[in-house]
């Protein structure tokens, strides 16, 4: 049996399908949640599993058996079917926590047997933020882009999906909750720029053409610059409606002087 350090180091938990983001649980809707457990690049097949959902110290779903347990070849190691009734009366917010407790099958976990607890943050939302970019938006920038598809790829979806994950994580880093952004269209250019950056960065490793590196740098810089001008309506009061005064910028403002409407005498101590 591997020691504990090896066990932790070689264990990977992912949401399934993998998004690299907190779970977005839509309030009042039936939804399937999933987790994938990998050990040394091999999917672990649990023999038992439970699911718990908490908001702060409040337990919403308490240690309930998982709906399904996967095998080494299924995309998920375990799933839980959450019912709309479970969340219908709960408050919206980003302070939810999923707790998955899985017992591994020794045959797929190198002899490991003790249950393992995996925690994942979650938000209870009215609606998730959906992308609006497809391949045609990328081809509109580079008409011969499809001629550059890497081997085994039939479209650019993998790059677009990764770019969307990065964009959402950047929103979170900037203090914005993605599910509260009401204007998806405001993120189109940023999504296109990040997708093209990832595409040309990958092409530069496959072909070694300096032009692809230049394009990758170009679109990486365009993505960074786009955050300085992005504006969108932001549902601060979470009423699923556009209200006056809800316009936000992509990057939070930093006031070095006296904010508008703030008495200067207070700042000066007068």
Q: Is the peptide bond before 85 cis (omega within 30 degrees of 0)?
A: no
Q: Residues 6 or more apart from 113 whose CB is under 8 A from it?
A: 103, 104, 106
Range of lowest pLDDT (42-46, 150-154, 155-159): 42-46
User: Are the beta carbons of 120 and 36 closer than 8 angstroms?
Assistant: no
Of residues 259, 252, 246, the one with CA closest to residue 230: 252
User: Are the beta carbons of 28 and 124 closer than 8 angstroms?
Assistant: no
Task: Quote the percentage of the chain above a pLDDT of 70.
Answer: 83
Residue pLDDT, tens place only, 160-181: 999 999 999 999 999 999 999 9
Residue 5 or 69, more confident: 69
Its pTM stands at 0.83
User: Are the beta carbons of 138 and 196 closer than 8 angstroms?
Assistant: yes
Residue pLDDT, tens place only, 73-118: 677 889 999 999 999 999 999 999 999 999 887 655 555 567 889 9
Is the per-residue pLDDT at 266 higher than 60? no
Residue pLDDT, tens place only, 23-80: 999 999 999 999 988 877 777 888 899 999 999 999 999 999 999 998 766 778 899 9
CATH number of 7-125: 2.60.40.10
The alpha carbon torsion through 252, 257, 259, 265 (nearest 10 deg) reads 160
Q: List every span in the chain annotated with CATH 2.60.40.10.
A: 7-125
Structure confidence at residue 209 (pLDDT):
64
Give the Cα separation of 210 and 215 in Å (integer): 9
Only one residue has tokens 């992912």, namely: 14
């Amino acid at each position: 049996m591997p020691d504990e350090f090896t066990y932790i180091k070689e264990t990977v938990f992912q949401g399934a399908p993998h998004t690299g983001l907190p779970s977005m649980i839509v309030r009042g809707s039936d939804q399937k949640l999933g987790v994938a457990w990998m050990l040394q690049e091999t999917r672990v097949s649990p023999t038992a599993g439970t699911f718990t959902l908490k908001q702060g110290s409040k337990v919403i779903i308490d240690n309930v058996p998982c709906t399904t347990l996967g095998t080494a070849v299924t995309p998920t190691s375990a799933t839980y079917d959450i019912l709309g009734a479970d969340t219908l009366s709960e408050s919206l917010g980003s302070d939810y926590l999923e707790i998955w407790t899985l017992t591994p099958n020794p045959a797929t976990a190198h002899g490991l047997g003790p249950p393992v607890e995996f925690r994942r943050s979650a938000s209870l939302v009215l609606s998730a933020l959906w992308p609006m970019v497809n391949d045609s938006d990328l081809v509109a920038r580079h008409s011969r882009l499809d001629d550059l598809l890497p081997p085994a790829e039939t479209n650019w979806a993998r790059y677009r999906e990764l770019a969307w994950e990065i964009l959402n994580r950047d929103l979170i880093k900037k203090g914005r909750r993605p599910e509260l952004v009401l204007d998806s269209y405001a993120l189109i250019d940023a999504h296109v720029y990040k997708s093209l950056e990832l595409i040309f960065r990958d092409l530069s490793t496959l072909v070694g053409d300096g032009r692809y590196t230049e394009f990758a740098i170009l679109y990486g810089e365009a993505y960074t610059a786009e955050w300085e001008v992005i504006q969108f309506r932001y549902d601060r009061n979470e009423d699923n409606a556009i209200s006056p005064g809800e316009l936000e910028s992509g990057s939070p403002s930093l006031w070095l002087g006296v904010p508008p409407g703030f008495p200067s005498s207070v700042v000066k101590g007068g």
